[in-house]
Structure 1
Amino acid sequence: MSFDSDFRCGFVTVVGRPNVGKSTLANALIGAKISIVSRKAQTTRHRINSVLTREKEQFVFVDTPGFQTRHGGLMNRMMNRVVTQSLTDVDVVLHVVEAGKWNTGDEQLIPLFPKDAAVLLVVNKVDLFKNKADLLPYIAQVATKYDYAAVLPVSAQRGVQLETLLDEIARHLPLNEPMFEEDTITDRSMRFIASELLREKIFRLVGDELPYGCAVMIEQWDENPTGARIAACVLVEREGHRPILLGANGMHMKRIATEARQDIQNLLEKPVFLDVYVKVRKGWTEREATLRELGHE
């Protein structure tokens, strides 16, 4: 693509404690479903770059796991490392908080902010407040926590103030040529995104019953212009997790696979045959080799 000398391009890291809506915001800003979304905290486990290109700017959004302060297992430590690494060599940091709430998880991110990047406080989920004036004392209070370059109340779910947020981010991006082609929306493979979409459906359907020891591995990917055939393995830690995933007469897994297949078809824009099965691998969340095989950094 051609670009002007006043073109701006840079990395924008999206950080926050678990479940404040980081992935929903990242998806809403680029207008495509790249990062998975769930009510279950810590759904995002990986650094995921998504790309939005406008006439004068290219934004490379880095969605990160929620910064975890309550659990100290190997997988959580590796996810926290992703957060801290994602805060180096970035141009803009979006510190996402949930409207009306502030706790230790929000506070503990502040010392990690790079001094040479613009940090914007993004107050998400403002749609939950009928009277927006009720938010003013909260915003005034949290705005004093750090020398934020700007404070923007938004609703990622409803699309409120997202264009305003993009315009504010653009002001802080450096003059730079684009890093990606104009039609690129992520630097992750479709194979990776497909595994994430399947994991999202698992958390949405059985997330309250199933612990975090669940992951998805794509073991077969055959794609041609007319369709794709995909085989996916759902990895769990205990034998007792298998019946939770399957459900009575396999109904849970049928629904999970059907909904995931629909999302993958939308992404690939072609018919998809998806075969999903469950495998038990005890203690995988504490094995670094397995975690790296699954894409953890």
Structure 2
Amino acid sequence: MGGSSTDQQANVDRTFRSGFVALVGRPSVGKSTLLNAVMGAKLAITSPVAQTTRRRMRAVVNTDSSQLVIVDTPGLHKPKDALGKELNKVALAELADVDVVAFLIDATKPVGRGDEWVAKHVESSGATFKLLVITKADIAKPDQVSSQIEAASSLAHFDETLVVSAREGFNVDSFVGLVSSHLPAGPKWFPDDMDCDATDEELVAEYVREKVLNNLRQEVPHSVGVICEDIEWAKDGHASISATVIVEREGQKGIVIGRGGKMIKKIGTEARKDIERLFDCKCFLDLEVRVRPDWRRDQNEIRRLGYEAE
């Protein structure tokens, strides 16, 4: 005789896998780029500037047999201020409560002391599966990749190694399949229509900050914070959004605004395109620039901007 529908459902549930994977590594190794490639859409911001990622973001990947929750974390680094300490706390906290840790190493840059420090935390993580991921294979020579695998493999014990190019899509699907196969049996943690746990306001703030970073790489990158003050939805479906760009000095404010307001207008125009894609509607974006002296050393300002570790 066949089993009851309840028994059959139990068998299905036992084969479904779900869990969390943390992407960790030094700044600028490609964590956010890999997350976006896996999602097939832009969620996390990216830029050539170190410490671009300041918020932990959870992105949800659903397959027929699994739900994979990818946790993008700030790059681990030697902190120079209160903000840097908070970013490290955010990243290290995730290592304590995930099923899989993916340790990312840039194929084009020598393994150094910073990587050794991160590897020690990976080694002590409670994750049941530890994956070494060599990134940026599209711009690295084969001998670079080989030497990176050898150097990184000596830092900690890894269960497997995977070479990827997020920009070219190389081994991105393999990453999802490999990680999913090592998740524990479990239920879906998030609904099917949820792709990340960031709020609309957080995503708006991040998209604005990305445009500041990409347009002003040398002048003010680490001194910039952004907060989305308000989103108002009109009856016709349009959105009116106000956001504030925070800098530490008057001179930086002038740089962000630009001569005749040209730079802040350019930042707003570029950010609005991403925001309209996100919301799938026309948006009006109003940007203001304010000075908060030494905000990166002020715990209250760090908390207000949403960069504090939970």
Establish whether residue 233 from structure 1 lines up as the match of residue 238 from structure 2: no
8 Å CA contact retained: 2:60, 2:196: yes
Q: Partner residue of 2:267?
A: 256
Aligned 1:83-232 pairs, distance under 5 A: 83-100=91-108, 101-113=110-122, 114-129=125-140, 131-224=141-234, 226-232=237-243
| Alpha-carbon distance in structure 2 between the residues aligned to 1:134 and 1:23 | 22
| Alpha-carbon distance in structure 1 between the residues aligned to 2:70 and 2:121 | 18
8 Å CA contact retained: 2:105, 2:152: no
| Alpha-carbon distance in structure 2 between the residues aligned to 1:39 and 1:33 | 16
| Alpha-carbon distance in structure 2 between the residues aligned to 1:97 and 1:135 | 10
Residue 289 of structure 1 deviates from its aligned partner by 1.2
Q: Please report the TM-score for the alignment, with normalisation by the length of structure 1.
A: 0.95
Establish whether residue 23 from structure 1 lines up as the match of residue 2 from structure 2: no
Residue 220 of structure 1 deviates from its aligned partner by 1.8
- Structure 1 residue corresponding to 2:68, chosen from 48, 51, 59: 59
For structure 2, which runs of at least 5 residues remain unmatched after alignment? 1-8
Post-superposition CA distance 1:29-72 (Å, at most 9, x none):
11221211000000111111111111111111111110012x32
Q: Partner residue of 2:303?
A: 292
Residue 211 of structure 1 deviates from its aligned partner by 4.2
| Alpha-carbon distance in structure 2 between the residues aligned to 1:22 and 1:142 | 17
- Structure 2 residue corresponding to 1:41, chosen from 44, 50, 62: 50
Residue 144 of structure 1 deviates from its aligned partner by 2.7
Establish whether residue 82 from structure 1 lines up as the match of residue 93 from structure 2: no
| Alpha-carbon distance in structure 2 between the residues aligned to 1:38 and 1:26 | 14
Residue 134 of structure 1 deviates from its aligned partner by 4.9
Q: What is the DSSP-based 3-state SS (H/G/I as helix, E as strand, rest coil) of the residue aligned with 2:250? A: coil
| Matched residue type, 1:218 | C
| Alpha-carbon distance in structure 2 between the residues aligned to 1:91 and 1:39 | 29
Residue 133 of structure 1 deviates from its aligned partner by 5.0
Q: What is the DSSP-based 3-state SS (H/G/I as helix, E as strand, rest coil) of the residue aligned with 2:14? A: coil
The structure that has the greater radius of gyration is 2
Question: Considering only aligned residues, what root-mean-square deviation do their CA atoms show, in Å?
Answer: 1.5
Q: What is the DSSP-based 3-state SS (H/G/I as helix, E as strand, rest coil) of the residue aligned with 2:148? A: helix
| Alpha-carbon distance in structure 2 between the residues aligned to 1:38 and 1:117 | 32
Give the aligned length.
294
> Identity over aligned residues, as a percent?
36
| Alpha-carbon distance in structure 2 between the residues aligned to 1:30 and 1:159 | 11
Q: Partner residue of 1:73?
A: 81
Q: Partner residue of 2:6?
A: none
Residue 136 of structure 1 deviates from its aligned partner by 2.1
Post-superposition CA distance 1:83-139 (Å, at most 9, x none):
11011110000101100421111110122121443110000001013x535522332
Q: Partner residue of 1:273?
A: 284
With 41-50 and 142-151 compared, the bigger mean Cα shift is at 142-151
| Alpha-carbon distance in structure 2 between the residues aligned to 1:116 and 1:39 | 30
| Alpha-carbon distance in structure 2 between the residues aligned to 1:89 and 1:218 | 29
| Alpha-carbon distance in structure 2 between the residues aligned to 1:264 and 1:183 | 19
Instruction: Assess, with a 3 A threshold, how the Cα gap between structure 1 residues 285 and 134 changes in structure 2: closer, same or farther.
Output: closer
More helix by percentage: 2
With 97-106 and 117-126 compared, the bigger mean Cα shift is at 97-106
